[in-house]
Structure 1
Amino acid sequence: MDFMIHLDGSRVYELPAEERDEVVKREHAHAHELMAAGVLKHIWRLPGQRGNVGIWSATDADALEQVLAALPIRPHADIKVTPLATHPLTLEAAADPA
Structure 2
Amino acid sequence: MLYQVEMVVKPPKEMDASTFDEIKSREKSYSQDLQRQGKWRHIWRIAGQYANISIFDVESHEELHNLLLALPLYPYMDITVTPLCRHPSSIHESDC
* TM-score in same-fold range (> 0.5): yes
Moved over 3 A (4+): none
Aligned residues: 92
| Structure 2 counterparts to residues 67-86 of structure 1, below 5 A | 67-86=67-86
Deviations along 1:14-42, whole A, 9 cap, x unmatched?
22111111111110111110100111101
The residue that corresponds to 1:5 in the other structure is 5
Q: Note if contact 1:39-1:58 (Cα within 8 Å) is conserved in structure 2.
A: yes
The residue that corresponds to 2:56 in the other structure is 56
Runs of 5+ unmatched residues, structure 1: none
Per residue, is there more helix in 1 or in 2?
1
The residue that corresponds to 1:17 in the other structure is 17
CA RMSD of aligned residues (A): 1.3
Amino acid in structure 1 at the alignment position of 2:11: V
Aligned counterparts of 2:54 and 2:41: Cα–Cα separation in 1: 7
**Matched position secondary structure for 2:85:** coil
Runs of 5+ unmatched residues, structure 2: none
Aligned counterparts of 2:11 and 2:56: Cα–Cα separation in 1: 22
Cα 1:94–1:55 change in 2 (3 A) is closer
Amino acid in structure 2 at the alignment position of 1:28: K
